[in-house]
């Protein structure tokens, strides 16, 4: 309980401990990384280095800008994911291990794959997969940004409310009044936030990202429809457009005939 006497000092301790743990983890990771690659090959240290170089060459062939050390320098790196030989390679390929630590690096890789040349007689599912992955990354980021804008708005609303209201409002017995005041403060802040450039920008990016995801879903549904010889939405839309234009033509002709008759 003594620790709780000064919450700020306690917070500082936690922060310092976290920092130490982080640096320790970094050092362990570097060690484990080397060890694990060695276990994969079961060869000599030199051989391990060759494999590492080969692996880097392979990655660089897809993503020239890729820097394998970039995600290791990020906070919160999970050392345990690298402790066993085979698991280490799988861990490198596991999106959840990458996305959090090096989103921009991942985005570069995905763009490189997506923009690669297409071959006439070779299916290129990895390009579509890379695009889908990039879109989902965009959506996650846009949703997180939007969420932050709204969280900040609620924080500001509470700050403004607490500047003008105290526990005495409740002691006076007017809980409803205090609640109404809080709702009014929150409403005002949310309305102001909704007109702010930050909100507008975040919402636009979220809208675009969600439209891209929706369009991707549509592509997948169309691929499924084609595979099972079902009409696709594009085909039905085409037909709808043709019917719409034909109907217009017929009405126009009807008017002209009516005008001629009169």
Partner 1 sequence: MKNEEKPQEKEVSDPARAAADAWAIAWTQMIEAGAKAIRSSSYLSRVKADDIAIAETPHDVVFEIDKVRLFHYRPLSEKKSGLPPIIICYGLFGRQTMIDLQSDRSLVQNLLNEGIDVYVVDWGNPTRADQYLGFDDYIDLYLGSCVEYVYEKNGKKPVNMFGICEGGTFAAALVALSPELFAGLALAITPIDFHGEPDKFWRGEGFLNHWTRNLSQEDVDLIVETYGMLPGAMTGAVFSSLTPINSMTKYNLGLAEMQGDEAAMLNFLRMEKWISDRPDHPGEAARQWLNELYRDNRLVKGTFEVSGQKVDLSAISCPVLNIFAMRDHIIPVSCSKALGKFVKPELYEEIGFPGGHVGVFVSKKAQGVVAGGLCEWLTSKHNKTNPGAQVQKKKTTRRKSKSKAANGKE
Q: Which residues bind partner 1 (CB under 8 A)?
A: 163-171, 173, 175-176, 179, 183-184, 186-188, 190-192, 194-195, 200, 203-204, 207-208, 211, 214-215, 218, 233, 236-237, 240-241, 244-245, 251, 254-255, 258-259, 262
* Shortest reach from residue 236's CB to partner 1, in Å: 8
Q: Can you read off the two tokens belonging to residue 197? A: 């450039």
Q: Can you read off the two tokens belonging to residue 233? A: 């939405």
Q: In the complex with partner 1, which residue's Cβ is closer, 24 or 255?
A: 255
Identify the residue whose tokens are 């675009």.
208
* Shortest reach from residue 214's CB to partner 1, in Å: 5
User: Rounded CA gap, 44 and 22, in Å?
Assistant: 30
Q: In the complex with partner 1, which residue's Cβ is closer, 24 or 254?
A: 254
Q: Where are the beta strands (DSSP E) in the chain?
A: none
* Shortest reach from residue 108's CB to partner 1, in Å: 25
* Shortest reach from residue 162's CB to partner 1, in Å: 9
Q: In the complex with partner 1, which residue's Cβ is closer, 1 or 259?
A: 259
Q: In the complex with partner 1, which residue's Cβ is closer, 226 or 237?
A: 237
Distances (CA, A) of 207 to 16, 36, 53, 130, 148: 40, 43, 42, 21, 16
* Shortest reach from residue 84's CB to partner 1, in Å: 44
Which residues lie below 8 Å from residue 216, measured CB to CB, with a gap of 6+?
131, 132, 135
SS3 of 120, please?
A: coil
Going by C-alpha positions, the residue among 210, 65, 204 that lies closest to residue 135 is: 210
Q: In the complex with partner 1, which residue's Cβ is closer, 47 or 248?
A: 248
């Amino acid at each position: 309980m003594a620790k709780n006497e000064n919450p700020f000092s306690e917070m500082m301790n936690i922060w310092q401990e976290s920092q130490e743990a982080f640096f320790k983890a970094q050092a362990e990771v570097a060690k484990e990384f080397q060890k694990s690659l060695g276990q994969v090959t079961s060869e000599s240290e030199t051989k391990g280095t060759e494999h590492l170089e080969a692996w880097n060459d392979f990655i660089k062939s897809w993503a020239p800008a890729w820097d394998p050390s970039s995600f290791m320098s990020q906070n919160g790196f999970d050392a345990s994911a690298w402790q066993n030989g085979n698991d280490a390679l799988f861990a490198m390929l596991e999106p959840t291990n990458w996305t959090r630590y090096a989103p921009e690096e991942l985005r570069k890789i995905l763009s490189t794959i997506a923009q690669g040349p297409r071959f006439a007689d070779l299916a290129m599912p990895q390009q579509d997969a890379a695009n889908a992955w990039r879109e989902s990354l965009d959506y996650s980021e846009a949703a997180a940004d939007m969420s932050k804008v709204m969280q900040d708005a609620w924080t500001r609303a509470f700050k403004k409310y607490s500047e003008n209201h105290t526990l005495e409002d409740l002691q006076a017995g007017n809980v409803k009044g205090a609640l109404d005041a809080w709702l009014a403060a929150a409403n005002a802040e949310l309305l102001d936030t909704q007109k702010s450039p930050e909100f507008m920008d975040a919402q636009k990016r979220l809208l675009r990202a969600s439209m891209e995801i929706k369009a991707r879903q549509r592509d997948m549904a169309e691929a499924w429809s084609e595979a099972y010889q079902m009409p696709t939405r594009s085909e039905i839309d085409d037909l709808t457009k043709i019917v719409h234009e034909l109907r217009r033509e017929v009405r126009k002709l009807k008017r002209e005939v009516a005008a001629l008759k009169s």
